[in-house]
Amino acid sequence: MMHTTAPAAAELQDSASVHHGNALIKPSYDERLTNEDLAPLKKQTWSTYNIFAFWMSDVHSVGGYITAGSLFALGLTSWQVLVALLVGIVIVQFFCNLVAKPSQVTGTPYPVICRASFGVLGANIPAVIRGLIAVAWYGIQTYLASSAFLILALHFFPSLAPYADVKLHGFAGLSTLGWAAFMTLWVLQALVFWTGMETIRKFIDWAGPAVYVVMILLAIWLVNKAGWSNVSFTLSFVKYSGWEAVPVMLTAIALVVSYFSGPMLNFGDFSRYAKNFGAVRKGNFWGLPINFLGFSLLTVITTSATLPVFGKLITDPVETVSHIDSTFAMVLGALTFMTATIGINIVANFVSPAFDFSNVSPRHISWRTGGMIAAVGSIFITPWNLYNNPQVIHYTLDVLGAFIGPLFGILISDYYLVRRQQVDVDDLYTMRPQGKYWYTRGYNPVAIATMIPAAIIPILCVVVPAWQGLANYSWFIGMGIALVLYRVLARRMMPHFFAAA
């Protein structure tokens, strides 16, 4: 049963409220917690298709392609991989439905709904953590997309080859041409983002389907050239059979969940725009299990066909496109995968830090400013150096990623188990000590006490050699600990919630 206190129709017409575009800002809202981007929405208009298209943009990327393809190389049979993919994505769908509901009902983004569990000031803790993770991934995804641009430049202007050599012409570990490609993609993404959320919605509405069309054409071309009988759906030797395959399948399931853990955590940034929760659930169904399974099948067909066509197995779609002898096909493929990566970058790594950093100081940091902070930060971390050193990526992003599970567990435990889906929207925007989410000077000690052990344990799984067998399960470990521990501590430290229930 839903008890969340959301902006009702009568409140939307309240003459005391101040209307800023699609934001509803009441006189009682503290300016230190409120701006146009963080305030509750007046109108929620996204349909099932918009949510479906959101997931298409998130799935259809170079990273998604490589991730899906790599699972088929684990030594499992194809049907075992498909079962693992399906189970993993259904888990993602289940958790996305859980995290979507509070934001959709209240019309508020992820960092604002976190104020209920962390406190009106404590919510900056999850906001900054998620923002930093997004900055790192934003830079890496932009760098990956720029490689497609580089291929196009060298195809049409071979004389630029010396400028693609970092030893001859380069700066900070990247060639001159690499810098040009990276910054071109950087500017294009910033332009799409700067025009606002409505443009982003329109962009993802066509970007995801466009990638599907080109991937289908690429698969048909490769299979036709290879011959259907020469295409094998198993991308490696089958090493595991019977019960031996179960741990490997569990690892594949965990990898799927981990891959989506970032956008899953801040999915509320998008579900808040949905016209009702039914649209979210339907969009998640079509966008996750149905779409991801279709994308995975296309990926394995395309990847396996590269072996008979090019004489080697190619898991990077950009490299596959570079081997095509048709200029038109190569240009179309490169532009498509660039578009796909721009899509996931805006969806997963631009919008989320925009809200997150804006939440830190709403008076001084707008949504656009927050996004640009993330974009500029992505240049200074020199993502090509991170990408060229897998060990640095492993420790930097896995340690940051180990925080995602606990943040998710705390949000879900607070909303469903402690508050029983009751949220006072107005109190999310007040600094009054009498407000429900003021706690202790704006911070909830229960959330902080939960966060420390729930984050440390999965971090140890990543960095301690003896525990690294559990590293792939760090999200589940952190989420599970936080889910249980938060409820236990809340019963002891916030007994009034349970007394009321």
Distance CA 499, CA 501 (A): 5
pLDDT at 392: 61
pLDDT at 471: 83
Reading the block at residue 267, the tokens are: 């999915």
pLDDT tens for 85-104 read 899 999 999 999 999 999 99
Distance CA 195, CA 274 (A): 20
Share of residues in the chain with pLDDT > 70 (%) = 90
pLDDT: is 499 or 197 the higher one? Answer: 197
DSSP for 171-205 reads ETTEEHHHHHHHHHHHHHHHHHHHT-HHHHHHHHH
441 class by beta-carbon count within 10 Å (0-12 exposed, 13-18 middle, 19+ buried):
exposed
1 pLDDT tier (thresholds 50, 70, 90): very low
pLDDT: is 263 or 484 the higher one? Answer: 484
Stretch 263-268: mean pLDDT, rounded? 92
For residue 61, pLDDT over 80 is answered with no
Q: What structural domains does the chain harbor?
A: 9-500 (1.10.4160.10)
Enter the DSSP assignment of 440: B
Query: Any idea which of 7-11, 113-117, 136-140, 429-433 has the lowest mean pLDDT?
Result: 7-11
Distance CA 119, CA 443 (A): 5
Reading the block at residue 63, the tokens are: 């990273």
Query: Which residue, chain included where needed, has tokens 């993919």?
Result: 85
DSSP for 313-330 reads ----HHHHHHT-S-HHHH
397 pLDDT tier (thresholds 50, 70, 90): low
161 pLDDT tier (thresholds 50, 70, 90): confident
For residue 428, pLDDT over 90 is answered with yes
Give the distance between the most distant pair of CA atoms in the chain: 75
Enter the DSSP assignment of 74: S
Looking at every residue in the chain, the average pLDDT score rounds to 84
For residue 438, pLDDT over 90 is answered with yes
In terms of DSSP bridges, do strands 170-171 and 174-175 run parallel, antiparallel, or are they unpaired? antiparallel
In terms of DSSP bridges, do strands 174-175 and 18-20 run parallel, antiparallel, or are they unpaired? unpaired
pLDDT at 236: 64
Distance CA 276, CA 279 (A): 6
Distance CA 388, CA 318 (A): 17
Query: Any idea which of 243-252, 390-399, 488-497 has the lowest mean pLDDT?
Result: 390-399
Share of residues in the chain with pLDDT > 90 (%) = 34
The sign of the dihedral angle between the CA atoms of 404, 405, 410, 415 is positive
DSSP for 236-257 reads S-----GGGHHHHHHHHHHHHH
State the CB neighbour count (10 A cutoff) for residue 204: 25
pLDDT tens for 282-305 read 999 999 999 988 888 888 888 888
pLDDT tens for 7-42 read 443 343 444 445 567 878 899 999 999 998 899 999
pLDDT: is 476 or 345 the higher one? Answer: 476
487 pLDDT tier (thresholds 50, 70, 90): very high
CA distances in angstroms from 370 to 349, 362, 375, 446, 452, listed in the order given: 12, 10, 9, 28, 27
Best-predicted range by mean pLDDT (206-210, 316-320, 383-387, 430-434): 430-434
pLDDT at 13: 41
CA distances in angstroms from 101 to 76, 126, 271, listed in the order given: 36, 18, 8
For residue 169, pLDDT over 50 is answered with yes
DSSP for 317-384 reads HHHHHHT-S-HHHHHHHHHHHHHHHHHHHHHHHTHHHHHHHHHH-TTT--HHHHHHHHHHHHHHT-HH
For residue 434, pLDDT over 80 is answered with yes
How far is CA 497 from its chain centroid? 32
pLDDT at 435: 92
pLDDT tens for 304-361 read 888 888 888 787 777 788 888 778 878 888 888 788 778 778 877 888 888 899 999 8
Stretch 273-281: mean pLDDT, rounded? 96
Reading the block at residue 39, the tokens are: 């305030």
